[in-house]
Amino acid sequence: MDEDNRPPTRRERRAQAKGEKKEGERKSGVLKKLLFAAIGLVSLGVVGYWLYGQASKPVAGEAVANQGRDHVTDIFGIEYNSNPPTSGKHFPMWAKKGMYDRLISDGYLIHSLEHGYVIVSYDCSNLATSYSLLATALAHDEPTQQSTDSGQLLMHMKLTPSTTMSAFSPENAPEVEIPLPEEFNSDACKNLQNDLEKLVNYRERVIVVPKINMETQLAITAWRRILKLDNFDQGKLEEFISAFHNKGPERTIE
């Protein structure tokens, strides 16, 4: 029989099958590698696109120039570069998280911003009548500059810090110095307060406080950052809080 035309032996068939199997596995491995590479490239593209979108996304609010972090006991005569202030001379004590029912001196609130708090200030004297429901820290070691009591309301530190208490909460806030205007008792203002109170628990360091003589109904501030709003906008408020919460220059354990 012609050597070239003879049927393969069992050993040859096994060798051939084994070779074909290896070749199939090799091709399969190549295909898998190509598939994984393609998936990886697509994933990198998606991540890159997302990162580009985040990087190009406008940052909430406006930047405000730094006015320093000195401690004083009276802020009368200090000209801050925004209303409400976002930095500057302030009291050695600060306000903690919560919904406050009275005017709190900027001297305390600026210190809270320094610790990474975000403060939502609202002025019901600017409230539109159409508003509806839809719509453990230790005392600091920094020196305190000597300053006299100006006698001006909300300008002088009324509480004295100690090694056991450097801050206050809504439950033990400073005494009322200036009563809130009658507009803060309106139904529209109460509706606004109900919506703002929900923001207190949106992040750990959020303060909601009434304020008078603002240009807009609402202003949300962080250290060297401010966003002013004419109306309640939950999305914008939460976006600002998420972006700047706990981003102050001084980290504390509270």
Can you spell out the DSSP letters for 154-221? TTB--S---SS-SEE-GGGPPPPSSPPPGGGGSHHHHHHHHHHHGGGGTSSSEEEEE-SS-SSSEEEE
246 Rama sector, left if φ>0, alpha if ψ -120 to 50, beta otherwise: left
Q: What is the pLDDT of residue 51?
A: 56
Residues 180 and 229 in one domain: yes
Q: What is the pLDDT of residue 47?
A: 61
Q: What is the pLDDT of residue 8?
A: 73
Residues 86 and 199 in one domain: yes
Q: What is the pLDDT of residue 237?
A: 98
Q: What is the pLDDT of residue 126?
A: 75
Residue spans of alpha helices (H) in 57-134:
106-114
Residues 119 and 90 in one domain: yes
Q: What is the pLDDT of residue 25?
A: 66
How many Cα atoms within 13 Å fall on the side-chain side of residue 80? 20
Nearest to 119 by CA among 60, 194, 200: 200
Does a structural domain hold residue 140? Answer: no
Does a structural domain hold residue 254? Answer: no
CB 224 within 8 A of CB 86: yes
Domain total in the chain: 2
Tokens of 7: 């049927």
Find the largest Cα–Cα distance for the chain: 123
Does a structural domain hold residue 137? Answer: no
Residues 159 and 209 in one domain: yes
Q: What is the pLDDT of residue 180?
A: 96
- Non-local (6+) Cβ contacts of 116 within 8 A are 205, 222, 223, 245, 246, 247, 248, 250, 251
The residue range of the domain holding 22 is 9-57
Read off the pTM: 0.74
Residues 157 and 217 in one domain: yes
Nearest-5° Cα angle at 246, 244 to 252: 155
Residues 107 and 24 in one domain: no
Q: What is the pLDDT of residue 35?
A: 79
Residues 23 and 115 in one domain: no
Does a structural domain hold residue 168? Answer: yes
Does a structural domain hold residue 238? Answer: yes
Residues 126 and 46 in one domain: no
In the predicted model, residues of the chain with pLDDT beneath 50 are 129-139
What sign results for the dihedral spanned by CA atoms 144, 150, 151, 156?
A: negative
